[in-house]
Structure 1
Amino acid sequence: MKIEGLDKLQRDLKQAQKALQDLPGEIELRFDPNDATSVETAIADMKLAVEGKVGRYRSNPFVAPLIDGMIEQFEQQILEKASEAMADTDKSIALDQQAFRGIENTVNDLRRADYRSFERHIKKLSRQLHGGEFDDISNELKSKVDLGAWLAAGERTQGGMVGSAQLDWPENHEEELGIVIALTDHFADENDGSWPPENFSHTFFYNGNNITSNLQHMVSEIYVPFARDFIDYVKQRTGAKEAALLPTRKLDPASRKVFVVHGHDEGAKEATARFLEALDFEPIILHEQASRGRTIVEKIEEHGDVGFAVVLLTPDDVGAHKDHSTDLKPRARQNVLLELGYFMGRLGRSRVVALKRGDVEVPSDFEGVVYVGYDSGNGWKQDLGKELDAAGYEIDWNKVMARR
């Protein structure tokens, strides 16, 4: 009897022996354990190094499992090293996070405050800005500005129409932050009633004759972006970092896939997708993907390995609190809010941007997500480009400006 295939088996075994000699015993990698993207990049670099050494042997049935096993082992070592390094700084990170979240939570309270509770929350914010972690920075920023002169200049712009007064915000970032800190301290000072918050919001952020509505409009325009910018500034000045979740998904860190979450506004969806394509991104739109008998949630999970998400908050529904059932407000579709929360958890807040069209109600529990106004003048494109750039993507600004 003649046994066939022995020659091929011998060749495979010899090739496997050569591959074992080429397998790297160790790989030198550098990464920041507090930065999930840095950890992902290290994993991707490791895979490239292994494949570069022995990838040519992948067709060998003895070698392929060894390569996969080595990659899995190295990846586990990277994650363990990152976890150990993060543990060493957990206490300081937790302190930073607690202080940062305190400011965000207070601003969130201000967004929902009425004219009776506004004073309590603004005083709390003033105390937080001058707490142990932030006092020196806040005082330094505040010393750069003259609040009285700034308010007087704004008051002089008041015309004959209510709400026509304009504030001249400083172009210098530190002075802009200083103005808001000084304004917060002014509102919190019971002995200085020259510009109480209800008068200030009525003059510069008029949104009707309702005091609460004017105050909330002011908070939305001033304090929501201030909280984000102030925290970023403190991180830059002090080197403070928020704890990063170690990656658990296999995602190319340079992935240019962007998931587009949308409601019923077809025009907004198409405009966003085409803009992303023009910047060399690959927009992922759920209904364009094959279902193959899967549920919506299963499809989201299947196509969720993206590097960024753009969520379109368009006024497709209306809703109200049960105690104010006649006060209907425009809202985004429920599935849009569900997917917004999903991608916040999957990608992190810095890789999710919400494009907000019109006066659509913004979810109160999604603090830290960047909301960009989706205007008809295409200004949203430049804002979206900035957020993609901040997330680490290479952006061709000539293409951004050409599509304005």
Structure 2
Amino acid sequence: MTYDLREALDRRVLVLDGAMGTQIHAADLELERDYLGLENCPEIINHTRPEVIRAIHESYLAAGSDAVETNTFGGSVLTLAEFGLAERCRELNAKAARIAREACEKLSTPDRPRFALGSLGPGTKLATLGQIAYAKLRGSYEEQVLGLIEGGVDGILIETCQDPLQIKAAINATLRAREALKRDVPILVSVTMEVTGTMLVGTEMGAAIALLDPYPIDLLSINCATGPREMSEHVRLLGQTCRKRIGVYPNAGLPQLVDGKPFYPLTPAELADWLMRFVDEDGLGMIGGCCGTTPEHIAAAAKALGVREPKRRKSAHQPQVTSIYSAVPLFQDNSVLFVGERSNANGSKAFREHLLGGNVDAMVQMGREQLREGSHVLDVCTAYVGRDEVADMTKVVERYRSEVALPLTIDSTETPVLAAALALCGGRSIVNSINLEDGLE
């Protein structure tokens, strides 16, 4: 039986499960027999010991979870390739999905449906840092999502996100898989804010909210890295400005090292208190736990929550563009939006000469100068007769995206150039020089 996750999210605050990895480790599995010698590859347990994974799901559902995540956090083609399992990606994800759905079917009732969410983790390579190409990352996720949807998941949860470009790859992979299989499964995204106050590549919470606003996702959440206390400021901003449904599933506090092992200090009652505060004050529609949380933590949260509708929110949304670091409102309070035009081969002789000479360092310096002089956005154009505009745009954007902390306007009339540039931009950019000379098509 398949239930409507979107309808459930609108009707009541849902409880997600807790940590999967710690529960697998607690099962005392054998490296050779159960992991097939593949240490640190829990996805293979979906094949060798499905009853162990099913029992973990059932323990969280019995504790009060409305939704459980598949054991596929590292189940993309790229991550499984590190264990020689790339060709089994679709198979292992489909198996994991069926295991989760079986557990949900067992504990669902007409009044309390349970949901299986396909987990997509961040992987081990950051696209914004050039460690993996966007198209390859998207393809890796697409194969994973195809398996999860074929296995029957009720939604896709793109979680523990550390890089905006990785999020875009995962969302677009899911959209492609949905289209291929003709199944409109909901998409949930959860970002990770480090103790530094930003995502791993430096993205602020406000920028994450702004750059994900145009995407057809059903819920935006925060998870991992810290406990609820450290997340509170980010959760507040989420509640105040995000137009999507919102959620949070923190760690059980900041980890401590006790007897050489990580220890998470937050008790079930303490976690439940924090989660109820977020529900009451910030209007969360989904709560749960991440690292260090157990069925006991989830039971405490579910008991404290009971059955209640999400609090009505009125978000203070404003149109914004972003770099990978921060957001810039399109409407300036005391000024106009200044677009720096000196990174344009058609408008700046100096930039054009640096482009022709291959001096990317000098072009980066020109971008930084415009930032210091008060530009809010940088227009980037590398069009010049007789040159490879795609290659030139790629060289510039690869540097500008991380070394010039401003949103970019991609200025080109050529679709391949726009596509190449946007595949490099983790932030929310502006596309310039669009015309209808060839008609609407």
TM range (shorter): under 0.3
Name the structure where helix makes up a greater proportion of residues: 1
Report the structure, 1 or 2, having the larger strand content: 2
Highest RCO, 1 vs 2 (Cα 8 Å, sep ≥ 6): 2
